[in-house]
Amino acid sequence: MSDLSVPRPEVTRLSVPPRLLLGPGPSLADPRILQAMSTPLLGHLDPQFLEIMDRTQSMLRYAFQTRNQITIPVSGTGTAAMETAVANMVEPGDTVLVCVSGYFGLRIVDMARRYGGQVEVISRPWGQVFSPEEVKTALERRPAKVVAIVHAETSTGACQPVDEIARIVHDQGGLLIVDAVTSLAGVPLFVDAWELDVCYSGAQKCLSCPPGISPITLNGRALAKLEGRQTQVTNWYLDLSSVSKYWGKERTYHHTAPISMVYAIYEALQIVLEEGLEARWRRHRTNAELLWAGLQEMGWELHVPLEYRLPSLTTVRVPPGVDEAVLRQRLLREYNIEISGGLGELKGKVLRIGLMGFSSRPENVLLLLSALKKICG
């Protein structure tokens, strides 16, 4: 045996500071969820684990407010759920309309093009929302098999109404994909009542899980589209025609499930059940209103009009004379508080403050406001 050629690194034990996470994600993980992740591992086909999978699906249906059979957590972060939606619904040559009013709409555009979609984009300024008439006009100009829109745009803090848009999309024969990464379990979301064909989310936002597992749900129209494809889904790992057989009655092996992450989302959904969706929505709204009032008392301007403002993610415009990067560095260094700057078109123009899941607490709001006042004078 030859001598080892790569030097041995110094042993350094993992050590992280106890940050107060008030950025756009991840949110603070509920201690119960972290404890659940330390539960002993089971095999991914163990009968007890299969029961946990079934109960997880049932709880996800409650969170999404859907009876869709295919309602599962994807093994991956929220972006994996986004790509699952696009990869399964978009075939080469499909006409696709993407409504872009922020960073994550642009990400859908990129994915849809990579999967061969003939993509058309309609745009709104970042922080605004689309009217149903805008979507209808775009579809009259060029009908689309697939339409995608972001319900809760994490880059802008705007909440997009989608129920009427879904009806417009269906009237012209299309399917609607909805990004609910920052809205599931934080703001009202009704997959069945709003007739959303595909809706996906992430665990690290309002569910207060660590990132790494992401819910998605498909209704009958979306399932028919999947089953009627002329070509295979080109992403093997995210092909729901295969993955769903592991989560379904067949229990066909597809990949080794992230056991501890399933425990995590299971416990997160238990917490949602205990609190109740309506109470949870009210809590997010109440704490957001406390934040909005405090920022406005400081003379800071909120970026999104109240009518469309997202309770789980607030964007506030950087005040004149304030260096937002320095402000965030001081919050982190002096107070252990993380918030974030803007993305894309809003880079350097706004601060993003997340009040999601376990992070959405009045004491966190008051601590942040006090710190901002001390730093900014």
Domains of the chain as residue ranges with CATH = 20-26+276-376 (3.90.1150.10), 31-273 (3.40.640.10)
Tell me, what's the pLDDT at 262?
A: 98
d(CA 122, CA 108): 13
d(CA 175, CA 198): 8
- For the chain, give percent helix, strand, coil, nearest 5: 40, 15, 45
Helix (H, G, I), strand (E, B) or coil at 172: coil
Helix (H, G, I), strand (E, B) or coil at 146: strand
**301-339, pLDDT tens digit by residue?**
999 999 999 999 999 999 999 999 999 999 999 999 999
pTM (two decimals): 0.96
Decide the pairing of beta strands 20-21 and 337-338. parallel
d(CA 100, CA 287): 28
d(CA 7, CA 275): 52
Tell me, what's the pLDDT at 1?
A: 59
Q: What is the DSSP letter of 319?
A: P
CB 354 within 8 Å of CB 27: yes
Tell me, what's the pLDDT at 263?
A: 98
Paired residues of 158 in beta bridges: 153, 309
Tokens 């249906």, located at residue:
61
Tell me, what's the pLDDT at 158?
A: 98
Q: What is the DSSP letter of 306?
A: G
Neighbours of 147 (CB within 10 A): 28
Low-confidence ranges of the chain (pLDDT < 50): none
Tell me, what's the pLDDT at 377?
A: 74
